[in-house]
Structure 1
Amino acid sequence: MNDRQLQRYARHLLLEAVGIEGQERLLAARVLILGLGGLGSPAAMYLAAAGIGTLVLADGDHVDLTNLQRQIVHQERSVGMPKAISAGQSLQALNPEPHYVLIDEKLEGKALAHAVGSVDLVLDCSDNFATRQAVNSACVGLGVPLVSASAVGLDGQCMVLNLQPGIDTSGPSHHRDWACYHCVFPQAPEEVACATMGVFSPLTGMVGCMQAGLAIRVLLQQALPQVLLMVDGRNMSTSSMRIRRDPD
Protein backbone atom coordinates (compact mmCIF):
# COMPACT_ATOMS: atom_id res chain seq x y z
CA MET A 1 0.00 0.00 0.00
CA ASN A 2 1.12 3.54 -0.69
CA ASP A 3 1.09 6.37 1.86
CA ARG A 4 -2.32 7.64 0.77
CA GLN A 5 -3.85 4.19 1.12
CA LEU A 6 -2.29 3.80 4.56
CA GLN A 7 -4.05 7.00 5.57
CA ARG A 8 -7.38 6.30 3.83
CA TYR A 9 -7.75 2.82 5.33
CA ALA A 10 -6.07 3.60 8.67
CA ARG A 11 -9.09 2.63 10.75
CA HIS A 12 -9.20 -0.79 9.09
CA LEU A 13 -5.50 -1.27 9.69
CA LEU A 14 -6.02 -0.81 13.43
CA LEU A 15 -8.38 -3.78 13.54
CA GLU A 16 -6.87 -7.16 14.30
CA ALA A 17 -9.55 -8.68 12.08
CA VAL A 18 -8.29 -6.70 9.07
CA GLY A 19 -4.81 -5.21 9.45
CA ILE A 20 -2.41 -4.59 6.59
CA GLU A 21 -2.63 -8.11 5.20
CA GLY A 22 -6.41 -8.04 5.24
CA GLN A 23 -6.61 -4.62 3.63
CA GLU A 24 -4.28 -5.79 0.89
CA ARG A 25 -6.67 -8.68 0.26
CA LEU A 26 -9.50 -6.19 -0.14
CA LEU A 27 -7.46 -4.03 -2.49
CA ALA A 28 -6.87 -7.06 -4.70
CA ALA A 29 -10.45 -8.37 -4.58
CA ARG A 30 -12.96 -8.40 -7.43
CA VAL A 31 -16.65 -8.21 -6.56
CA LEU A 32 -19.77 -8.26 -8.75
CA ILE A 33 -22.86 -6.42 -7.48
CA LEU A 34 -26.05 -7.40 -9.31
CA GLY A 35 -28.68 -4.73 -8.77
CA LEU A 36 -28.05 -1.15 -7.69
CA GLY A 37 -31.28 -0.45 -5.88
CA GLY A 38 -32.16 -0.41 -2.20
CA LEU A 39 -29.69 -3.14 -1.24
CA GLY A 40 -27.03 -2.61 -3.87
CA SER A 41 -26.75 1.10 -3.04
CA PRO A 42 -25.43 0.82 0.54
CA ALA A 43 -23.55 -2.39 -0.21
CA ALA A 44 -21.71 -0.76 -3.11
CA MET A 45 -20.93 2.39 -1.13
CA TYR A 46 -19.41 0.52 1.80
CA LEU A 47 -17.43 -1.85 -0.41
CA ALA A 48 -16.10 1.09 -2.41
CA ALA A 49 -15.20 2.93 0.79
CA ALA A 50 -13.48 -0.21 2.08
CA GLY A 51 -11.21 -0.23 -0.95
CA ILE A 52 -12.36 -3.28 -2.90
CA GLY A 53 -9.99 -3.34 -5.87
CA THR A 54 -12.53 -3.97 -8.63
CA LEU A 55 -16.27 -3.43 -8.38
CA VAL A 56 -18.38 -4.70 -11.26
CA LEU A 57 -21.73 -2.87 -11.11
CA ALA A 58 -24.56 -4.39 -13.13
CA ASP A 59 -28.12 -3.10 -13.50
CA GLY A 60 -30.24 -2.65 -16.62
CA ASP A 61 -32.72 -0.27 -14.97
CA HIS A 62 -32.86 3.53 -14.93
CA VAL A 63 -33.16 5.80 -11.90
CA ASP A 64 -36.75 6.76 -11.08
CA LEU A 65 -37.88 9.41 -8.63
CA THR A 66 -39.54 6.73 -6.49
CA ASN A 67 -36.13 5.07 -6.03
CA LEU A 68 -34.62 7.98 -4.13
CA GLN A 69 -36.46 7.19 -0.88
CA ARG A 70 -34.02 4.30 -0.29
CA GLN A 71 -31.51 3.94 -3.15
CA ILE A 72 -28.93 6.27 -1.65
CA VAL A 73 -26.21 5.83 -4.25
CA HIS A 74 -28.37 7.87 -6.66
CA GLN A 75 -29.26 11.58 -6.52
CA GLU A 76 -32.16 13.59 -7.91
CA ARG A 77 -29.99 14.75 -10.79
CA SER A 78 -29.62 11.07 -11.74
CA VAL A 79 -33.33 10.53 -12.48
CA GLY A 80 -33.59 8.97 -15.94
CA MET A 81 -29.94 7.90 -15.95
CA PRO A 82 -28.90 4.23 -16.14
CA LYS A 83 -28.41 3.00 -12.57
CA ALA A 84 -25.01 1.51 -13.34
CA ILE A 85 -23.75 4.85 -14.65
CA SER A 86 -25.29 6.84 -11.80
CA ALA A 87 -23.82 4.50 -9.19
CA GLY A 88 -20.43 4.57 -10.87
CA GLN A 89 -20.34 8.36 -10.72
CA SER A 90 -21.28 8.43 -7.04
CA LEU A 91 -18.76 5.76 -6.07
CA GLN A 92 -16.00 7.42 -8.08
CA ALA A 93 -16.62 10.59 -6.07
CA LEU A 94 -16.59 8.60 -2.82
CA ASN A 95 -13.39 6.69 -3.57
CA PRO A 96 -11.57 7.04 -6.91
CA GLU A 97 -9.14 4.20 -6.16
CA PRO A 98 -11.19 1.11 -7.07
CA HIS A 99 -11.60 0.05 -10.70
CA TYR A 100 -15.29 0.37 -11.57
CA VAL A 101 -16.74 -1.77 -14.35
CA LEU A 102 -20.21 -0.48 -15.29
CA ILE A 103 -22.67 -2.84 -17.00
CA ASP A 104 -25.87 -1.13 -18.13
CA GLU A 105 -27.86 -4.29 -18.81
CA LYS A 106 -29.63 -7.13 -17.06
CA LEU A 107 -27.12 -9.95 -17.05
CA GLU A 108 -28.46 -13.26 -18.29
CA GLY A 109 -27.13 -16.46 -19.84
CA LYS A 110 -23.57 -16.30 -21.14
CA ALA A 111 -23.15 -12.65 -20.12
CA LEU A 112 -24.07 -13.52 -16.54
CA ALA A 113 -21.73 -16.51 -16.50
CA HIS A 114 -18.89 -14.41 -17.90
CA ALA A 115 -19.38 -11.70 -15.27
CA VAL A 116 -19.60 -14.22 -12.42
CA GLY A 117 -16.52 -16.04 -13.66
CA SER A 118 -14.47 -12.84 -13.64
CA VAL A 119 -14.82 -12.10 -9.90
CA ASP A 120 -14.02 -13.53 -6.47
CA LEU A 121 -17.45 -12.90 -4.96
CA VAL A 122 -20.99 -12.01 -6.05
CA LEU A 123 -23.55 -9.90 -4.21
CA ASP A 124 -27.09 -10.63 -5.39
CA CYS A 125 -29.11 -7.49 -4.74
CA SER A 126 -31.82 -8.32 -7.27
CA ASP A 127 -35.53 -8.21 -6.52
CA ASN A 128 -37.06 -11.37 -8.01
CA PHE A 129 -36.84 -15.13 -7.58
CA ALA A 130 -35.98 -15.98 -11.19
CA THR A 131 -32.91 -13.74 -11.16
CA ARG A 132 -31.78 -15.09 -7.79
CA GLN A 133 -31.98 -18.66 -9.05
CA ALA A 134 -30.09 -17.77 -12.24
CA VAL A 135 -27.36 -16.02 -10.25
CA ASN A 136 -27.17 -18.97 -7.87
CA SER A 137 -26.82 -21.44 -10.75
CA ALA A 138 -23.98 -19.40 -12.25
CA CYS A 139 -22.18 -19.16 -8.90
CA VAL A 140 -22.56 -22.88 -8.17
CA GLY A 141 -21.41 -23.84 -11.66
CA LEU A 142 -18.35 -21.61 -11.50
CA GLY A 143 -17.52 -22.11 -7.82
CA VAL A 144 -17.96 -18.46 -6.80
CA PRO A 145 -19.22 -17.51 -3.30
CA LEU A 146 -22.49 -15.61 -3.15
CA VAL A 147 -23.97 -13.16 -0.64
CA SER A 148 -27.71 -13.02 -1.27
CA ALA A 149 -30.20 -10.63 0.32
CA SER A 150 -33.72 -9.30 0.01
CA ALA A 151 -35.87 -6.64 1.65
CA VAL A 152 -39.53 -5.77 1.19
CA GLY A 153 -42.07 -4.19 3.47
CA LEU A 154 -40.57 -4.38 6.97
CA ASP A 155 -38.71 -7.68 6.55
CA GLY A 156 -35.22 -8.39 5.27
CA GLN A 157 -32.83 -11.30 5.08
CA CYS A 158 -29.23 -11.98 4.14
CA MET A 159 -27.01 -15.06 3.86
CA VAL A 160 -23.66 -16.30 2.61
CA LEU A 161 -23.89 -19.20 0.17
CA ASN A 162 -21.69 -21.52 -1.83
CA LEU A 163 -18.40 -21.03 -0.01
CA GLN A 164 -15.59 -22.79 -1.82
CA PRO A 165 -12.20 -24.39 -1.05
CA GLY A 166 -9.74 -21.67 -0.09
CA ILE A 167 -12.17 -19.99 2.27
CA ASP A 168 -11.27 -20.45 5.95
CA THR A 169 -13.20 -23.50 7.13
CA SER A 170 -12.19 -23.36 10.79
CA GLY A 171 -15.67 -22.24 11.79
CA PRO A 172 -18.76 -24.34 12.43
CA SER A 173 -19.35 -25.22 8.77
CA HIS A 174 -17.09 -26.88 6.23
CA HIS A 175 -17.26 -25.61 2.65
CA ARG A 176 -18.51 -28.95 1.28
CA ASP A 177 -21.59 -28.58 3.46
CA TRP A 178 -22.40 -25.01 2.48
CA ALA A 179 -25.84 -24.43 1.05
CA CYS A 180 -26.69 -22.68 -2.19
CA TYR A 181 -29.78 -20.52 -2.77
CA HIS A 182 -31.73 -23.46 -4.20
CA CYS A 183 -31.07 -25.45 -1.01
CA VAL A 184 -32.76 -22.75 1.06
CA PHE A 185 -35.50 -21.79 -1.41
CA PRO A 186 -36.12 -24.75 -3.74
CA GLN A 187 -39.46 -23.33 -4.87
CA ALA A 188 -40.51 -19.80 -5.63
CA PRO A 189 -42.02 -18.02 -2.63
CA GLU A 190 -44.97 -15.75 -3.16
CA GLU A 191 -43.62 -12.85 -5.20
CA VAL A 192 -43.84 -9.49 -3.45
CA ALA A 193 -42.44 -6.25 -4.80
CA CYS A 194 -41.59 -2.87 -3.36
CA ALA A 195 -43.82 -1.25 -5.99
CA THR A 196 -46.90 -2.97 -4.53
CA MET A 197 -45.92 -3.76 -0.92
CA GLY A 198 -43.72 -0.77 -0.14
CA VAL A 199 -40.43 -0.92 1.73
CA PHE A 200 -39.14 0.77 4.89
CA SER A 201 -36.17 2.78 3.65
CA PRO A 202 -33.81 2.22 6.63
CA LEU A 203 -34.40 -1.53 6.29
CA THR A 204 -32.66 -1.60 2.92
CA GLY A 205 -29.71 0.22 4.45
CA MET A 206 -29.50 -2.25 7.32
CA VAL A 207 -29.61 -5.31 5.07
CA GLY A 208 -27.34 -3.81 2.42
CA CYS A 209 -24.75 -3.00 5.07
CA MET A 210 -25.01 -6.57 6.36
CA GLN A 211 -24.31 -7.77 2.82
CA ALA A 212 -21.22 -5.58 2.61
CA GLY A 213 -20.00 -6.76 6.02
CA LEU A 214 -20.45 -10.42 5.13
CA ALA A 215 -18.75 -9.85 1.78
CA ILE A 216 -15.70 -8.36 3.48
CA ARG A 217 -15.53 -11.27 5.91
CA VAL A 218 -15.66 -13.75 3.04
CA LEU A 219 -12.90 -11.89 1.20
CA LEU A 220 -10.80 -11.88 4.37
CA GLN A 221 -11.32 -15.65 4.57
CA GLN A 222 -12.82 -15.48 8.04
CA ALA A 223 -14.92 -18.29 9.47
CA LEU A 224 -18.66 -17.71 9.22
CA PRO A 225 -21.71 -19.50 10.60
CA GLN A 226 -24.01 -20.97 8.00
CA VAL A 227 -27.20 -19.06 8.80
CA LEU A 228 -29.98 -17.03 7.29
CA LEU A 229 -29.91 -13.63 8.98
CA MET A 230 -33.32 -12.01 9.33
CA VAL A 231 -34.08 -8.36 10.07
CA ASP A 232 -37.40 -7.17 11.49
CA GLY A 233 -37.91 -3.51 10.76
CA ARG A 234 -40.90 -3.30 13.10
CA ASN A 235 -38.79 -3.47 16.24
CA MET A 236 -35.29 -3.18 14.72
CA SER A 237 -34.33 -6.69 15.77
CA THR A 238 -32.33 -9.44 14.12
CA SER A 239 -32.51 -13.21 14.36
CA SER A 240 -30.89 -16.12 12.58
CA MET A 241 -31.79 -19.58 11.40
CA ARG A 242 -29.29 -22.31 10.54
CA ILE A 243 -29.37 -23.43 6.93
CA ARG A 244 -28.02 -26.63 5.45
CA ARG A 245 -26.95 -27.95 2.10
CA ASP A 246 -29.53 -30.10 0.33
CA PRO A 247 -27.74 -33.38 -0.45
CA ASP A 248 -29.79 -33.67 -3.64
Structure 2
Amino acid sequence: MALTDKQLERYSRHITLKEIGVRGQKKLLAAKVLIIGAGGLGAPAAMYLAAAGVGTIGIADCDSVELSNLQRQIIHTTDDIDKPKVQSAAETIKSLNPDVEVITYHEYVNSKNIASMIADYDFIIDGADNFPTKFLINDACVLGHKSFCHAGILRFEGQLMTYVPDVSPCYRCVFEAPPPKDAVPSCREAGVIGAMAGIIGAMQALEAVKYITGQGELLTGSMLVFDGLKMDWRKVKLPKRNHHCPVCGDTPTITELADEEQVSCSLRPQ
Protein backbone atom coordinates (compact mmCIF):
# COMPACT_ATOMS: atom_id res chain seq x y z
CA MET A 1 0.00 0.00 0.00
CA ALA A 2 1.53 3.27 -1.14
CA LEU A 3 0.66 6.48 0.65
CA THR A 4 -1.09 9.11 -1.46
CA ASP A 5 0.32 12.60 -1.88
CA LYS A 6 -2.31 13.92 0.53
CA GLN A 7 -1.41 11.27 3.11
CA LEU A 8 2.29 12.07 2.77
CA GLU A 9 1.45 15.69 3.53
CA ARG A 10 -1.08 14.96 6.31
CA TYR A 11 1.27 12.62 8.17
CA SER A 12 4.52 14.39 7.27
CA ARG A 13 5.43 15.10 10.90
CA HIS A 14 5.07 11.41 11.69
CA ILE A 15 7.01 10.34 8.64
CA THR A 16 9.88 12.63 9.62
CA LEU A 17 10.28 10.69 12.87
CA LYS A 18 12.76 7.84 12.49
CA GLU A 19 10.65 5.81 14.94
CA ILE A 20 7.57 6.08 12.70
CA GLY A 21 8.45 6.86 9.09
CA VAL A 22 6.41 5.57 6.16
CA ARG A 23 6.47 2.02 7.50
CA GLY A 24 5.06 3.05 10.87
CA GLN A 25 2.41 5.23 9.28
CA LYS A 26 1.26 2.31 7.16
CA LYS A 27 0.94 0.25 10.35
CA LEU A 28 -1.24 2.96 11.86
CA LEU A 29 -3.44 3.13 8.77
CA ALA A 30 -3.92 -0.64 8.91
CA ALA A 31 -4.58 -0.73 12.66
CA LYS A 32 -7.88 -1.08 14.53
CA VAL A 33 -8.41 0.49 17.97
CA LEU A 34 -11.57 0.22 20.08
CA ILE A 35 -12.36 2.99 22.57
CA ILE A 36 -14.85 2.03 25.27
CA GLY A 37 -16.38 5.28 26.50
CA ALA A 38 -16.70 8.47 24.45
CA GLY A 39 -16.33 10.73 27.48
CA GLY A 40 -13.51 12.60 29.18
CA LEU A 41 -10.79 10.04 28.40
CA GLY A 42 -12.19 8.59 25.20
CA ALA A 43 -12.75 12.00 23.61
CA PRO A 44 -9.11 13.17 23.40
CA ALA A 45 -7.88 9.62 22.80
CA ALA A 46 -10.19 9.29 19.80
CA MET A 47 -9.23 12.66 18.35
CA TYR A 48 -5.49 12.02 18.59
CA LEU A 49 -5.81 8.51 17.17
CA ALA A 50 -7.90 9.86 14.30
CA ALA A 51 -5.37 12.62 13.67
CA ALA A 52 -2.60 10.00 13.75
CA GLY A 53 -4.31 8.07 10.98
CA VAL A 54 -5.38 4.93 12.82
CA GLY A 55 -7.37 3.28 10.05
CA THR A 56 -10.30 1.91 12.04
CA ILE A 57 -11.58 3.36 15.30
CA GLY A 58 -14.42 1.75 17.21
CA ILE A 59 -16.41 3.84 19.67
CA ALA A 60 -18.63 2.18 22.29
CA ASP A 61 -20.92 4.27 24.50
CA CYS A 62 -24.60 4.09 25.42
CA ASP A 63 -25.04 7.71 26.56
CA SER A 64 -26.07 10.95 24.88
CA VAL A 65 -24.25 14.27 25.10
CA GLU A 66 -25.16 16.47 28.08
CA LEU A 67 -24.23 20.08 28.73
CA SER A 68 -22.10 19.12 31.74
CA ASN A 69 -19.98 16.85 29.50
CA LEU A 70 -18.63 19.75 27.46
CA GLN A 71 -16.24 20.95 30.19
CA ARG A 72 -13.92 18.04 29.36
CA GLN A 73 -15.34 15.85 26.55
CA ILE A 74 -13.86 17.86 23.71
CA ILE A 75 -15.01 15.62 20.89
CA HIS A 76 -18.56 16.96 21.42
CA THR A 77 -19.90 20.50 20.97
CA THR A 78 -22.92 22.47 22.15
CA ASP A 79 -24.76 21.55 18.95
CA ASP A 80 -24.35 17.87 19.87
CA ILE A 81 -26.37 18.03 23.10
CA ASP A 82 -28.90 15.15 23.25
CA LYS A 83 -27.16 13.41 20.34
CA PRO A 84 -25.76 9.89 20.99
CA LYS A 85 -22.11 10.27 21.96
CA VAL A 86 -21.02 7.67 19.43
CA GLN A 87 -22.70 9.63 16.64
CA SER A 88 -21.19 12.92 17.77
CA ALA A 89 -17.74 11.34 18.09
CA ALA A 90 -17.98 9.70 14.66
CA GLU A 91 -18.95 12.98 13.01
CA THR A 92 -16.02 14.80 14.61
CA ILE A 93 -13.56 12.06 13.65
CA LYS A 94 -14.72 11.98 10.03
CA SER A 95 -14.46 15.77 9.75
CA LEU A 96 -10.97 15.61 11.25
CA ASN A 97 -9.66 12.77 9.07
CA PRO A 98 -11.64 11.11 6.26
CA ASP A 99 -9.00 8.33 6.12
CA VAL A 100 -10.50 6.84 9.28
CA GLU A 101 -13.30 4.29 9.28
CA VAL A 102 -15.46 4.70 12.39
CA ILE A 103 -17.50 1.83 13.80
CA THR A 104 -20.02 2.80 16.46
CA TYR A 105 -21.61 0.73 19.21
CA HIS A 106 -24.50 2.66 20.76
CA GLU A 107 -25.05 0.12 23.49
CA TYR A 108 -24.16 -0.63 27.07
CA VAL A 109 -20.98 -2.69 27.26
CA ASN A 110 -21.63 -5.86 29.25
CA SER A 111 -20.50 -9.45 29.66
CA LYS A 112 -22.75 -10.60 26.80
CA ASN A 113 -21.37 -8.31 24.07
CA ILE A 114 -17.84 -7.27 25.02
CA ALA A 115 -16.04 -10.41 23.76
CA SER A 116 -17.43 -10.07 20.26
CA MET A 117 -16.95 -6.29 20.40
CA ILE A 118 -13.20 -6.45 21.07
CA ALA A 119 -12.50 -9.47 18.85
CA ASP A 120 -11.46 -7.66 15.68
CA TYR A 121 -9.40 -4.89 17.30
CA ASP A 122 -5.64 -4.69 17.82
CA PHE A 123 -5.75 -2.50 20.92
CA ILE A 124 -8.42 -1.44 23.43
CA ILE A 125 -8.65 1.86 25.29
CA ASP A 126 -10.47 1.85 28.62
CA GLY A 127 -12.33 5.16 28.80
CA ALA A 128 -15.06 3.79 31.08
CA ASP A 129 -16.42 5.88 33.92
CA ASN A 130 -17.16 3.15 36.48
CA PHE A 131 -15.37 0.32 38.23
CA PRO A 132 -17.44 -2.67 37.06
CA THR A 133 -16.90 -1.78 33.40
CA LYS A 134 -13.19 -1.25 33.96
CA PHE A 135 -12.88 -4.69 35.54
CA LEU A 136 -15.00 -6.20 32.76
CA ILE A 137 -12.71 -4.65 30.12
CA ASN A 138 -9.72 -6.14 31.92
CA ASP A 139 -11.25 -9.59 32.19
CA ALA A 140 -12.39 -9.59 28.55
CA CYS A 141 -8.95 -8.52 27.34
CA VAL A 142 -7.14 -11.09 29.49
CA LEU A 143 -9.43 -13.92 28.39
CA GLY A 144 -9.46 -12.66 24.80
CA HIS A 145 -5.69 -12.14 24.69
CA LYS A 146 -6.01 -8.43 23.84
CA SER A 147 -3.77 -5.53 24.84
CA PHE A 148 -5.39 -2.48 26.42
CA CYS A 149 -4.62 0.77 28.23
CA HIS A 150 -6.41 1.53 31.48
CA ALA A 151 -6.74 5.08 32.76
CA GLY A 152 -8.71 7.04 35.30
CA ILE A 153 -9.01 10.62 36.51
CA LEU A 154 -10.50 12.44 39.49
CA ARG A 155 -10.17 16.03 40.69
CA PHE A 156 -6.60 17.03 39.65
CA GLU A 157 -5.18 13.50 39.49
CA GLY A 158 -4.81 10.87 36.79
CA GLN A 159 -3.30 7.45 36.31
CA LEU A 160 -2.70 4.98 33.51
CA MET A 161 -1.17 1.57 32.83
CA THR A 162 -1.00 -0.76 29.83
CA TYR A 163 -1.63 -4.48 29.76
CA VAL A 164 -0.03 -6.76 27.18
CA PRO A 165 -0.86 -10.48 27.39
CA ASP A 166 1.91 -12.68 28.82
CA VAL A 167 4.08 -9.58 29.39
CA SER A 168 2.59 -7.52 32.21
CA PRO A 169 0.29 -7.69 35.23
CA CYS A 170 -3.38 -7.01 34.55
CA TYR A 171 -5.70 -4.56 36.29
CA ARG A 172 -6.91 -7.26 38.70
CA CYS A 173 -3.32 -8.07 39.62
CA VAL A 174 -3.20 -4.57 41.13
CA PHE A 175 -6.82 -4.06 42.19
CA GLU A 176 -8.42 -7.45 42.78
CA ALA A 177 -12.07 -6.34 42.78
CA PRO A 178 -14.23 -3.20 42.59
CA PRO A 179 -14.63 -1.30 45.87
CA PRO A 180 -18.00 -1.40 47.64
CA LYS A 181 -20.68 0.83 46.18
CA ASP A 182 -20.48 4.44 47.49
CA ALA A 183 -17.07 3.73 49.09
CA VAL A 184 -15.48 6.42 46.91
CA PRO A 185 -16.88 9.74 45.66
CA SER A 186 -18.39 9.96 42.21
CA CYS A 187 -17.24 12.37 39.53
CA ARG A 188 -20.40 14.38 40.08
CA GLU A 189 -19.60 14.64 43.80
CA ALA A 190 -15.83 15.15 43.69
CA GLY A 191 -15.38 16.97 40.36
CA VAL A 192 -12.60 16.76 37.81
CA ILE A 193 -10.52 19.42 36.09
CA GLY A 194 -11.21 19.26 32.36
CA ALA A 195 -7.60 19.47 31.23
CA MET A 196 -6.76 16.31 33.21
CA ALA A 197 -8.96 14.34 30.83
CA GLY A 198 -6.99 15.75 27.91
CA ILE A 199 -3.62 14.94 29.46
CA ILE A 200 -4.40 11.34 30.40
CA GLY A 201 -6.59 10.57 27.38
CA ALA A 202 -3.86 11.80 25.04
CA MET A 203 -1.37 9.56 26.83
CA GLN A 204 -3.65 6.58 26.23
CA ALA A 205 -3.56 7.45 22.54
CA LEU A 206 0.24 7.63 22.72
CA GLU A 207 0.37 4.16 24.28
CA ALA A 208 -1.79 2.85 21.44
CA VAL A 209 0.46 4.45 18.81
CA LYS A 210 3.59 2.99 20.43
CA TYR A 211 2.01 -0.44 20.62
CA ILE A 212 0.92 -0.39 16.98
CA THR A 213 4.27 0.84 15.67
CA GLY A 214 6.37 -1.23 18.08
CA GLN A 215 8.31 1.78 19.32
CA GLY A 216 9.34 2.95 22.78
CA GLU A 217 8.51 1.51 26.18
CA LEU A 218 4.91 0.84 27.13
CA LEU A 219 3.54 1.25 30.64
CA THR A 220 3.62 -2.50 31.15
CA GLY A 221 4.61 -3.35 34.69
CA SER A 222 4.22 0.26 35.79
CA MET A 223 1.45 2.69 36.63
CA LEU A 224 2.01 6.36 35.83
CA VAL A 225 0.37 8.69 38.35
CA PHE A 226 0.03 12.43 37.76
CA ASP A 227 -0.80 15.13 40.32
CA GLY A 228 -1.84 18.17 38.30
CA LEU A 229 -1.82 20.56 41.25
CA LYS A 230 1.82 19.80 42.05
CA MET A 231 2.82 18.93 38.46
CA ASP A 232 4.29 15.76 39.87
CA TRP A 233 4.68 12.53 37.84
CA ARG A 234 5.30 9.24 39.65
CA LYS A 235 5.99 5.93 37.93
CA VAL A 236 4.93 3.17 40.30
CA LYS A 237 6.53 -0.20 39.60
CA LEU A 238 4.03 -3.05 39.66
CA PRO A 239 4.75 -6.69 40.52
CA LYS A 240 5.76 -8.72 37.49
CA ARG A 241 2.90 -11.12 38.07
CA ASN A 242 0.35 -11.76 40.77
CA HIS A 243 0.22 -15.54 41.04
CA HIS A 244 -3.04 -15.23 42.99
CA CYS A 245 -4.78 -12.99 40.44
CA PRO A 246 -8.34 -14.32 39.93
CA VAL A 247 -8.19 -13.92 36.15
CA CYS A 248 -4.55 -14.38 35.06
CA GLY A 249 -3.02 -16.14 38.09
CA ASP A 250 -1.88 -19.73 38.49
CA THR A 251 -5.36 -21.00 39.37
CA PRO A 252 -7.81 -18.45 37.97
CA THR A 253 -11.32 -18.36 39.39
CA ILE A 254 -12.63 -16.06 36.64
CA THR A 255 -12.89 -18.15 33.49
CA GLU A 256 -16.07 -16.63 32.08
CA LEU A 257 -17.20 -13.01 31.81
CA ALA A 258 -19.79 -11.76 34.29
CA ASP A 259 -21.30 -8.40 35.16
CA GLU A 260 -20.68 -6.93 38.59
CA GLU A 261 -22.91 -4.41 40.32
CA GLN A 262 -22.82 -1.10 38.47
CA VAL A 263 -21.83 2.05 40.35
CA SER A 264 -22.35 5.63 39.27
CA CYS A 265 -18.73 6.58 38.66
CA SER A 266 -15.20 5.26 39.18
CA LEU A 267 -12.56 6.29 41.68
CA ARG A 268 -10.91 8.21 38.87
CA PRO A 269 -13.83 8.82 36.54
CA GLN A 270 -13.99 10.49 33.18
TM-score (normalizing by structure 2): 0.85
Which deviations, in whole Å up to 9, do the C-alpha atoms of 1:89-121 show, x marking residues without a partner? 111111111110011111212311111111000
Q: 1:240 aligns with which of 235, 240, 248?
A: 235
Other-structure match for 2:59: 57
Other-structure match for 2:189: 196
CA contact (8 A) 1:56 1:101 kept: yes
Which deviations, in whole Å up to 9, do the C-alpha atoms of 1:47-91 show, x marking residues without a partner? 000000100001001100000001000000001111000111111
Q: 1:132 aligns with which of 119, 131, 134?
A: 134
CA contact (8 A) 1:200 1:233 kept: no
Q: 1:9 aligns with which of 8, 11, 14?
A: 11
Which deviations, in whole Å up to 9, do the C-alpha atoms of 1:145-181 show, x marking residues without a partner? 01010001111101101x14xxxxxxxxxxx341111
- d(CA) in 2 for partners of 1:66, 1:25: 37
Greater shift, 106-115 or 28-37, is seen at 106-115
- d(CA) in 2 for partners of 1:115, 1:246: 27
- d(CA) in 2 for partners of 1:85, 1:96: 15
- d(CA) in 1 for partners of 2:187, 2:92: 24
Other-structure match for 1:180: 170
Give the letter for the 2:225 counterpart: M
- d(CA) in 2 for partners of 1:138, 1:2: 37
Deviation at 1:188, TM superposition (A): 2.2
- SS of 2:57's partner is strand
Count of matched residue pairs: 236
Aligned-pair identity (%): 39
- SS of 2:112's partner is helix
Structure 2 unaligned runs (5+)?
245-270
CA-atom RMSD, angstroms? 1.2
- SS of 2:113's partner is helix
CA contact (8 A) 2:33 2:125 kept: yes
Greater shift, 229-238 or 49-58, is seen at 229-238
- SS of 1:56's partner is strand
- d(CA) in 2 for partners of 1:26, 1:177: 22
Written as runs of structure 1 = structure 2, the 5 A alignment for 1:146-185 is: 146-161=148-163, 163-164=164-165, 176-185=166-175
- SS of 1:147's partner is strand
TM-score (normalizing by structure 1): 0.92
Other-structure match for 1:122: 124
2:208 is equivalent to residue 218 of structure 1: no
Greater shift, 129-138 or 189-198, is seen at 189-198
- d(CA) in 2 for partners of 1:192, 1:221: 38
- d(CA) in 2 for partners of 1:36, 1:46: 13
- d(CA) in 2 for partners of 1:213, 1:191: 29
CA contact (8 A) 2:34 2:123 kept: yes
